[in-house]
Amino acid sequence: MAIRNLRYENDEILKKHSREIEVIDDKIKELAEDMMETMHKWDGVGLAGVQVGVLKRIIVIDLYDEEKTQYTLINPVLVKQKGEQEVEEGCLSFPNQFGKVKRPKEVVVEALDINGKKITIKAKDLLAQALCHEIDHLNGIVFTEKVEPGTLETVNPDETKNQK
């Protein structure tokens, strides 16, 4: 496993559509492991392949909860959404930037797991938010495009350390 380099804000790759994964081979499994490790290194909740420079439809999510909810999803598709929530959102590709975004409160996502088995995830709240955020990445959409006007803020990490 290895930490992958993240792609940041002005990188054109973040605006590109990712391609479907046809075969889940050892290379894809290694990519998934690397993505999970990279996401954990930077304390992210989710990470899409495009964020590490790979234009393939793969995402990883970790809610860091008591159930140890982690997902590696291949070719995820949002099939249903319900309700709305306004949430504070950030992104590993936009370090220290946060803003309010409207996301569905509940979603249903179909995907393949890392072994190629078709799965359906019914999610709400944070998991629904993370799924939508990461699937947006696969479609070349970044959260700053969805931020409510006037709510995007850049936080200086040194200032937050001094407040603790």
Residues marked as catalytic:
134
Token digits for 85?
């929530």
| CA pair distance 21, 57, nearest whole angstrom | 6
Q: Are 90 and 100 in contact (CB under 8 A)?
A: no
| CA pair distance 47, 109, nearest whole angstrom | 16
Distances (CA, A) of 16 to 25, 44, 51, 52: 23, 21, 11, 13
Of 84, 96, 70, whose CA–CA distance to 8 is shortest?
96
| CA pair distance 145, 136, nearest whole angstrom | 10
